[in-house]
Amino acid sequence: MPVTASLRPAAIPAIFRRPRNTAVADALPSENVTSSAGAPARGTIRTERTSPPVETRVRGSMDGMGTKPRALQNAARSSRSSSSTGVVSRCTALRNAMDSTLSGPPRDAHFRGSARTLTVMPHPNPRASRAWRAALVTCATATAIAVTAVAPPAGAAKKPKAVVKMTPGEVTIYKTGNGPDALPPDVQSAVMTTLTGYVNAATVTPLRKGAANDAALGTALAAPVVARLATDRSVLVDEGLPKAVGRISVKGAPVALTGLADGGGNVVVVTADVATTATTKTAKGPLKITRSGELVLEPDNGTWKITGYTLTVDRVGKAIKAPTTTTVPAAPAAPTPTVAR
C-alpha cells in the first residue's frame, strides 16, 4: 500500500498493468523519442509494447513536467513499429490517433509530427480506458472491413442457406463372380456425391432461384435422363414453386444402396433407395417436398450418373395452391389371379 500511494495521482500504477512476458528494461527517455518526430532515436520493437504504458504514464503523472508532447512521442513509436510489429503497431497508431482526437489537435497534424507547433496536453484519462477504446475501435474497424468484404454486392439477393444431409444406409451387393463382397468405398463415395449433387440441383437451386440449372443437373443425370426432363421434369425437378426465403433443409432416411458386380468384380450398377424431405419457408408460407423411390446409377466417364428412376414426389404447404403428387413411372400392374397346379 505505501507503494501505491506514492504513485498517485495516477489512478492505478501503470506498472501493475504492464503486459507480461515483455521487456521493460528499455523504457525510453521521452526526450529522445518526442524530438525525433517519427524517426525512432533508439530502442527496439519491444519498446513499442511496453514503453507507452510505462513511461508515458509516469510522465503523465508528473503533471507539471509534461512539457514533451506525448502524442508525438507515441507517433514516433508508431512509425517505427509499423514495420516490425504488425498488428501491435497498427493498434498503437489507432490508439494514438484516438488520443490526439480526444485531446484536441487535428489528426493530420498529429500524424505529420509537427511536434513543435502542437500543444498537446497530457491525456486526462487513464491509459486503460484508452487501450479499451483503441481495442474497440480496432475491432469495429476490422469487423466493418470483414463485413464489407464478405457482403454481396448491393442489389444482390440474399441466398437462403441450405442444408442437405444424405448418408448411406444399408449396403447390399449382388455379384456374378467372386467379388467384391462389399460395395467399394470409392464407389459408395462417388454415388453419394452424385446423389447429393442431384438434390442440390433438383431441389435447392430451384427453391433459391425459381428454376433449375440444367447444366448442374447434367453432372448428376446421364444424358438419357436429361432427355427425359422434357416429359418427367415435374418429378425430377422442383420448379414452379415460390422461392425460399428461409433455410432450405433436405434430410432423409439413410440411403439403401444395392450394387451389381460382374464376373470381374466391377460394380456396374448401383441402385439407391431414396426418401428425402425438403422443408423451407417461402413468402407464401411453409413448403414441404417429399421425394421417394429408387434411382439407378451407372459409371459414366469416371463418375457415377443417374440412369434410371422410379420416383414419387409430394409437394404440400401453404406455398402452393393444392398439394401435388407425381409418380414416374406408373406402378406395375397387379398380379394376375392364378390357380395352383
- The residues binding another protein (CB under 8 A) are 172, 174-179, 181, 224, 227, 256, 258-260, 262-263, 268-269, 271, 273, 294-296, 298-299, 307-308, 310, 329-341
Could you give the CA distance from residue 262 to residue 280 in angstroms, rounded to a whole number?
Answer: 42
The distance of closest approach from Cβ of residue 273 to another protein in the complex, given in angstroms and rounded to an integer, is 7
* 182 vs 211, beta carbon nearer another protein: 182
The distance of closest approach from Cβ of residue 304 to another protein in the complex, given in angstroms and rounded to an integer, is 12
Could you give the CA distance from residue 306 to residue 33 in angstroms, rounded to a whole number?
Answer: 73
Could you give the CA distance from residue 203 to residue 62 in angstroms, rounded to a whole number?
Answer: 72
* 16 vs 174, beta carbon nearer another protein: 174
* 157 vs 230, beta carbon nearer another protein: 230
* 13 vs 218, beta carbon nearer another protein: 218
The distance of closest approach from Cβ of residue 308 to another protein in the complex, given in angstroms and rounded to an integer, is 6
The distance of closest approach from Cβ of residue 244 to another protein in the complex, given in angstroms and rounded to an integer, is 30
Containing 58, the helix (H) or strand (E) segment is: helix 57-61
* 185 vs 332, beta carbon nearer another protein: 332
CB atoms within 10 A of CB 20: 4
| Cβ pair 259, 171 in contact under 8 A | yes
The distance of closest approach from Cβ of residue 149 to another protein in the complex, given in angstroms and rounded to an integer, is 48
| Cβ pair 267, 301 in contact under 8 A | no
| Cβ pair 177, 265 in contact under 8 A | yes
Q: What's the length of the chain?
A: 341
Cell 501503470, located at residue: 14
* 104 vs 177, beta carbon nearer another protein: 177
The distance of closest approach from Cβ of residue 280 to another protein in the complex, given in angstroms and rounded to an integer, is 29
Instruction: Report CA dihedral (198, 203, 207, 211) to the nearest 10 degrees.
Output: 60
